[in-house]
Amino acid sequence: MVRRSVQNLILGCCGLILWLGSEAALANVEVIGTPVASATIRQWGNRFTSDTKIAVSYVEALEEVATSELFVGVYDLALVEHPLTADRLRARGLVQFPLLCVPVVVVVNLPGIPANALRLNARVLAAMYTGEILSWNDPGIAELNPSLSLPAIPVVPIAQSDGSAVTLNFTRYLASGSDSWRQKPGLGSGLIWPLGGKGEKDAETAAKRLMAQEGSLGFQPWVNKTRFDLSTVRLQNGRGEFITPTSGHFAGTFKTFLAKSNGDFSAPVNVDGADAWPILAVVYGQMKQIPEDVPDAQETVQMLTQILQAHVPPTDGLVSVGYEDVAQALSQVQSEKRFGPPQRKKVGP
């Protein structure tokens, strides 16, 4: 009896070792990066795993940590909100490509004003955030909204200092319409705000304050509009048009941005195009050109290729790129370790 049990135990252990060593258990795609992309990558991963039996994992991390972990070969794909410059990418041997777009909307808590009725632009928004405009019935706001009767309540600007590209690109939009904003607070994802000090710690906390306080004004990623039932406004783009925030406008603007962006400093703010939504943020993917773990890197490329070719929609109101937008970058990830040009064999003496 005991002998049989020991035999079964040994067989079980051997089976476990064989399974752990098998291709199915070893194969996996390990992704690290921004929390914004977490739900989307998990959803894409589930879809890919059910098709191929290749496991996909996602770990949320800070920007620098994500890139460093990718560089040392712990992970296969890093997702960051702040892209690296071209010379830094070259130095680290990384490939970078845009993958997802996060629409950024301006939201208000104004009683009696329906969603998307209010119109604002960068100049007026900057004046509200610096304290030059203190009341909602200020002539500066009324000039943009002649058909609305604006309440005489104080403006409460709410901001977050969360290190995200959402915040950075919102300040970039403010700087595009106000010289005083560009010269003093400048651009930043963790600014000391002129009126709000350090600001809220993240977008969720800011959204909760926006819900609670009448007369408040803030900026949020598009997903929080439905999550917290916030009221959005129409924003003026680079061409002077007032645009209503819709999924169609976000997707169209992102496509225009991808087609027009040249150079590593292009930001998706005031993208030049008809009906272009003025503020977007982009999540970039980074991979090693010569991967530490070539099979895993190839599976990562396979996952992105399959998901993008099948047009699997991302979650949380994000917009994804098309496969054709990243195909060239993905082809740079080597399928075998080759360092430098191949050596020619010497023939003869």
Partner 1 sequence: MNRFPYVASLGIFLSTLLSIYPQASVAGGRVPTTYNQRYQALFAEQELFRKRPELLGCVDASRDYVQGSNAAIFNKLRFQPSSAQMGFVAEDLVGGKVTRTVRIQAEGRVRAYSFLENWETAEINCTFVSGESARVHLSVIE
CB nearer to partner 1: pick between 112 and 263: 263
We find the least distance from the C-beta atom of residue 194 to partner 1, in angstroms, to be 13
We find the least distance from the C-beta atom of residue 327 to partner 1, in angstroms, to be 23
Distance CA 66, CA 62 (A): 6
Distance CA 109, CA 287 (A): 42
Distance CA 2, CA 308 (A): 55
We find the least distance from the C-beta atom of residue 119 to partner 1, in angstroms, to be 26
We find the least distance from the C-beta atom of residue 266 to partner 1, in angstroms, to be 7
Pairing of strands 94-108, 231-232: antiparallel
83: nearest Cα among 59, 58, 66, 69:
66
We find the least distance from the C-beta atom of residue 267 to partner 1, in angstroms, to be 8
| Beta pairing partners, 80 | 284
We find the least distance from the C-beta atom of residue 85 to partner 1, in angstroms, to be 6
Other residues' Cβ atoms within 10 Å of the Cβ of residue 284? 20
Pair 98, 211: CB distance under 8 Å = no
Pair 80, 227: CB distance under 8 Å = no
Distance CA 219, CA 140 (A): 20
CB nearer to partner 1: pick between 82 and 249: 82
Other residues' Cβ atoms within 10 Å of the Cβ of residue 147? 6
Pair 77, 49: CB distance under 8 Å = no
CB nearer to partner 1: pick between 62 and 74: 62
Instruction: Say which residue the tokens 């982009």 belong to.
Output: 282
CA angle, residues 127, 133, 137, in degrees to nearest 5: 130
Q: At residue 26, what are phi and psi to the nearest 5 degrees? A: -80, -30
CB nearer to partner 1: pick between 185 and 245: 185
We find the least distance from the C-beta atom of residue 193 to partner 1, in angstroms, to be 11
We find the least distance from the C-beta atom of residue 98 to partner 1, in angstroms, to be 16
163: nearest Cα among 193, 191, 190:
190
Question: Alpha carbon of 340 to those of 120, 173, 290, 343: distances in Å?
Answer: 54, 43, 11, 9
We find the least distance from the C-beta atom of residue 278 to partner 1, in angstroms, to be 15
CB nearer to partner 1: pick between 109 and 171: 171
Positions touching partner 1 (CB under 8 A) are 62-65, 81-82, 84-88, 161, 163, 168, 172, 175, 182-183, 186-190, 192, 263-267
Over its C-alpha atoms, the chain yields an Rg (Å, rounded) of 25
CB nearer to partner 1: pick between 138 and 202: 202
CB nearer to partner 1: pick between 46 and 85: 85
CB nearer to partner 1: pick between 182 and 255: 182
CB nearer to partner 1: pick between 265 and 339: 265
